[in-house]
Amino acid sequence: MSIHIVIGAGPAGSATALLLADRGDQVRLITRRGTGPQHRRIERIAADATDSSSLSTHSAGATAIYQCAQPEYHRWPTDFPPLIQSTISTAEKTGAVLVTAGNLYGYGAVDAPITEQHPLRPNSTKGRTRAELWNAALTAHQAGRIHTAEVRGSDYLGAGANSAFTVMVLPAVHAGKPALFPGDLDAPHSWTVIDDMARTLVAVADDETAWGRAWHAPTAPPLSVRALAELTADLAGAPPARVRHMPAAVLWAGGLFDSNAREMREVRYQFDQPFVLDSAAASATFGIEPTATAVAVQATLDNLPTARSTAKRS
């Protein structure tokens, strides 16, 4: 039985912790408040992961460290760097492989399906932050100080997913209400399922030949926002989806009162044109096939607050 450290109990961290625990590993799940899923093989630890001394103590004897924590959206440039430096230091002290849950922001705007060979050319503050985090870990790996890899996914679907679509469109469609979305409603877009992200994180950590590079989590063929909304309505038994383009001025005005809307301004380019992830390498290497989009949307719907409260009453 191996010991694995999971930092962060958000959707990706929780799914990774449960996957490891279900297969028989011992998991130490580290969050500031000691939260996370309950499982007899998951030890929930309240600790500050940016404190390398504390993190190293809790990581003693670990085989792998999975960095799945994500600071508040508007605090990425200030809160991410100390977190990655702490995890790099801990990986160096303990010898555990460091595997990070990343995203596609570091690539910037692209005009073709994104492979792992695409250069990191960020065009946003958050993209630069993501690129710098990976470059710091990769530099330590290339210097022989640590072993590391990164798994990147696109916008999430699945239980607990928090993405532009699951926040701005899916709940409204589920309720039979109109929705506004800032982007080209018919541009193809890739959607990564949280469980597929977790499966890839674990597969990469288990395979030392996979270290020293980035991997794209296996992801189903792209769907436009409009097509995904129509699929959502069909699965929810709701009226036909009514999704309209959100003018830039509306998003800008929303940013005056909501930090997430304000931060979305610089990454809306991902929805203004096709934004497609090529994940063939991970599927071929690890034998992981992506979850069908319909299955992922159903899991997202089943975990809406209204769905959970209804299930509790029945």
Return d(Cα 257, Cα 234) in angstroms, integer: 33
Return d(Cα 272, Cα 135) in angstroms, integer: 28
Return d(Cα 150, Cα 311) in angstroms, integer: 37
Determine contact, residues 101/151, Cβ cutoff 8 Å. yes
Is the confidence at residue 310, as pLDDT, over 70?
no
pLDDT of amino acid 313: 34
The model's pTM: 0.94
pLDDT of amino acid 314: 32
Q: Are strands 148-152 and 97-102 parallel, antiparallel or unpaired?
A: parallel
Domain range annotation of the chain: 3-223+268-310
Mean pLDDT on 152-179: 96
Return d(Cα 72, Cα 254) in angstroms, integer: 18
CATH of domain 3-223+268-310: 3.40.50.720
Q: What percent of the chain has pLDDT over 90?
A: 88
Kindly report the backbone phi and psi dihedral angles of residue 306, in degrees, each rounded to the nearest multiple of 5, phi listed first.
-65, -35
Is the confidence at residue 309, as pLDDT, over 50?
no
pLDDT-based confidence at 255, cuts 50/70/90? Answer: low
Pick from 304, 312, 308: nearest CA to 171: 304
Kindly report the backbone phi and psi dihedral angles of residue 43, in degrees, each rounded to the nearest multiple of 5, phi listed first.
-100, 115
pLDDT digits (tens, 9 = 90+) for 44-101: 999 999 999 999 999 999 999 999 999 999 999 999 999 999 999 999 999 999 999 9
Q: What percent of the chain has pLDDT over 70?
A: 94
Higher pLDDT, 252 or 154: 154
